[in-house]
Chain A
Amino acid sequence: MTIGALSLYRPVWEQSGNRVAGQDEDVLTLAVAAARPLAERHAVERVVVVTGTPDVVVGFGTGVVARALDLAEDAPVELRLGGAPALLDAVLSAGPGSLVVGVDLTGHAAASGAAWVTDGPGAELTAAGRVTGSLPMRVRAVGADHTTTYGDGRVERELATVPLVGRLRSADAPLVVGISPGEARRLGARSAALPAPGPAGVLFALAEASSWPGGTVRVVALDAAGGAAADFRPGPVEVVRDERPALSVDERPAVGEDVVIPFSMPAYARAFDAKIGMVAATCSCGETSYPPRQVCLNCGRYDDTRPTPLRRTGEVYTCVKVHVPIPGVAGPYGLAIVALDDSPVRVLAQVADVGRRETGIGERGRLVLRRVAVREGVPDYGYAFRSEFDAAGKGVPA
């Protein structure tokens, strides 16, 4: 299998040295954050999202992923449950044109990555062993808030980690995902700073290995009693990183009082394609409307339009910060009207990843998919404005 490109995403919020998700992020938005840069650059025929920590199982927004990535109508999006080994399995079994996305999302670490599989140039990944065992050191039942951990780390080390690494490694020091850097050293493994131990961690490890001098690297992915190994032969892999300077989680907007926000499924459905795909309507006279409208305000024609994809970059026309606590909305939050590039269209969006800093008129940035609200239990996705300035007011790539 050939990996042509890798994309890595970490949320901006930092807590105890780790990055954690924003209040407007979930497995789906983390997946899109990593996948979108590759979908913009390459033809994607199918998407597999691998996560060991699904937050939505029934009603997962595969359609949201498809529209947010501008996939073809018939492109399948699959949600697969599993840890680091499952990510290696997914890449090894993927055909050219596949995008394999890994998401780690827990209360203390969040990251995502994506790999684009190609039949063109890239880095080769070859299967090198698989072990499936049972040592349920950590268990989280569906609906449970916390994970139950068997309280003896040496049991995992002696019964799982040591024998698994022994069986899956090659003669050279392997790169192991799913164990701490200290454990890796003790086992004579190569060390890499990985933001998360699961599926996303594997993709960060591959990106790390792609820059190492020398030949093939054995990658071993562990998940308690299971493990998978693959040989990664570095090649021309494009690596895209979206890792902004950290912002303390103390500045992360938070929901104060909670409330059930009314939701209309028909209104959601009517808005969906244009909203999540960011597709405007252009009348035969040239007038562009977003959201698409039936009657052209320029020439009066009725429903004579073609869909027009919008750019996701633009400039703030006006913006405000909402300081007053609004029940059910994480705050303080910013609202901005953003004039999109190369288009007469402006969009209203919440401001993402900004902390205490106030966004200013004229700031440039990008619209990114976020979970804008949860209404009557239904996650509602849309676009938020992410400035090209970080929290300190310094420029970062949009």
Chain B
Amino acid sequence: MQADKNIKSLFDGFENEFRKGDWSAIESKVLDNNRRYLLSKSKFMIGATFGLVACITLGLVHFSTTTFSDKQQVEVTESNVALKTPLEENDIQISSVSAFLIAEEPSKIEEGSTTNSVLHAGNSSDIKKQELLVLNEEASTPVNEKLNRQLPKFTMHKTTYCIGEKLEFISDSKSTESLSFKWNNKRMTLDEFKQFRLSSAGNTAFQVLENGKIIQQVHVVCQAPMARIGYKKNYDIDNPYVQFSAMNSLNNAHYEWYVDGEPIASADEFEYTFASKGMYSIKMVVRSSAGCKDSSVKSVRILRGYNLMATTVYNPEVGKWLPLGLKKEGVSFRLRIIDQEGKTVFTSIDLKNEWDGSTAENMKVSNGDLLYWVAQVTDVNGKISEYGNSLLINSELE
């Protein structure tokens, strides 16, 4: 089609004059993804290197066992056993000391202190490593509470946030540049923290670090109301309506409903009767107690076909056809059935005159034919409404 080609050529290589994109809106997310990607890549490299080293070691061990005498092998085993005991004792001492230091001098806590002691333990055995981790966790929990009490250098402006909202804080640290943050084992600079937005509901804890030392732990809550619209149709021919409801009701939440932009209701559900057929937009806005909001829009298409309760498939061999909604005393109508070429094959204005599947030429329609029907209905108030739908001929329908 020439018109289609003209439209296509209008848009070929067309670039609207949009203002420059806001890179900062996605920057933190992109950098976060980059970091995750590079970390997984480096983990793979470390794994591969470790595998290579292990292969070489095994090769050397195999070489030594097949090369040296039996006497030398026994000596090696003995020296391993002798080394194990003193290391175990030493590990416990290191762990206790580091825990003691944390409790006594909170400002000197190095972020890596826990890791250091674990690394020592790693020299001896895995069982010991687990014991040490437990020891350190027990020691550090009350200390953080103590830190929060003693050093209020950093305060969150508020503790409840909405999804996508930037964090607000007040700091009395002399140089905010010395601050960094840790969340989910990931380090963030002050600038990254300022740009950070919570992306899921729930409680989140951040560690605040000054010059690499943990000075505080802060907790924030993220609220994320989800707006989801549910609906239930009522096919009552005299009073057709649709009931809309909030699918996930929240405690103390506030709801607003709009039909085509007009405010309609403020409860978590409402019933609505559409005056005429057409497209409608139903919007629900839900606000949580902290003011976090979400909205959802549902497009509703209202056709009046169902009100006539017409079947969409018909077998002329088993009976006659007329929409059930027309078989009602006091309803005046004009029904037309049209074939694919636009020719009218049947008309009726009487509920007793039902269609038997014959065409205007007194032929019968064939299996698989698709026809259309249009009905003009005048109700008791004189209002004329138009209904229509397709009708498929199926001779296998019982």
| A and B are interacting partners | no
Query: Could you list which residues of chain A lie within 8 angstroms of chain B, going by C-beta atoms?
Result: none
Query: Could you list which residues of chain B lie within 8 angstroms of chain A, going by C-beta atoms?
Result: none
